[in-house]
Amino acid sequence: MIRAGLVLALSVVVATAGWSVWAAESEGLSGTVGAEAVLLPGFSSGVWLDLSWNVNPWVFGALTHLVLFPGFTASWTGTVAYSLGPVDLGGTLAMDVYPLDLVGLDLLARAGLIDWTRDDDAASVEASFLCEVLPALAGTLSLDADASYGRFTAWGDLDLGVPGFGVTVLAGAEICVLDLDLDDGQLTGDLGARATVVPTFDAQFWFDVSFELGAFEVTADTEFDLTPFGLAEQRIQITIRFDGVSVYAWGGFDGAGDVTAGIGGCYDFP
For the chain, 270 residues long, give each residue's pLDDT as a single digit of tens: 445 444 444 455 545 555 445 445 556 899 999 999 999 999 999 999 999 999 999 999 999 999 999 999 999 999 999 999 999 999 999 999 999 999 999 999 999 999 999 988 999 999 999 999 999 999 999 999 999 999 999 999 999 998 888 999 999 999 999 999 998 899 999 999 999 999 999 999 999 999 999 999 999 999 999 988 999 999 999 999 999 999 999 999 998 889 999 999 999 998
CA distance 92 to 105: 6
Q: Which residues contact 270 (CB under 8 A, 6 or more apart)?
A: 29, 30
CA distance 8 to 115: 45
CA distances from 104 to 14, 124, 184, 200, 209 (A): 23, 30, 45, 27, 37
| Closest CA relative to residue 42, chosen from 207, 258, 226, 239 | 258
